[in-house]
Amino acid sequence: MSYTKKIGCRQARKQFPALEERAKPRQQLAAGERGAIEEHLKECRNCAREYQIFTLTRATLDAAATSEQMIADDTFFRLLRARINRGPEQLNSRPAEESWAAALLATARQLIPAMAMLLLLIIGATFVWSADIGPANDQVALRPRDRVIFSEMYEYPEPTRDDVLETLVAPEEKENGK
């Protein structure tokens, strides 16, 4: 009898304790379920690695819980001396793809084309905008102070100096109650 139903990673990981030989009777799996989980572990590298970690953790906890004394043999001490002679390993060193330089390079690779496109857009908009104002469109290029002529905009005459001063003084007089 073959179990053809595929299971997902989450379901397989929930059943890790039931895969052990010493699983409690209520946790034991049927043959088909066990086969499906084992098939999943063959196909999924992440779940297989997770199961190895699970079994190693259980074995470590079981070894720590035993009352019998563990004695290190000569091989352990020989390997320990060799490890001490090698010196400290670079456990905290990051792989090349996780270094700051690699991250900066990856960011630059993405930003440089975007910045180039933005610069081209700005330059293009400048040329288009300046072409609309120039003499090519039968318009006379005006200086900023010449562009607005009060008398042409409104039907009222241009304000005099006294009119401007009176407008500026009016809010102060109103505030002082005059």
- pLDDT single digits (tens) 124-160: 888 887 765 555 555 555 555 555 555 555 666 677 8
Look at residue 66 in the predicted model and tell me its pLDDT.
Answer: 79
| Residue 4: pLDDT over 70 | no
Q: If you average pLDDT over residues 36-56, what whole number do you get?
A: 89
Residue 96, phi then psi, degrees to nearest 5: -60, -35
CA distance 148 to 93: 67
- pLDDT single digits (tens) 72-81: 888 988 988 8
* 16 conformational bin, left if phi > 0, alpha if psi -120 to 50, beta if neither: alpha
pTM surpassing 0.85? no
pLDDT tier at 94, thresholds 50, 70, 90: low
Q: Give the residue among 30, 31, 32, 40 at the shortest CA–CA distance from 6.
A: 40
Look at residue 127 in the predicted model and tell me its pLDDT.
Answer: 82
DSSP string, 140-157: ----HHHH--HHHHSSSP
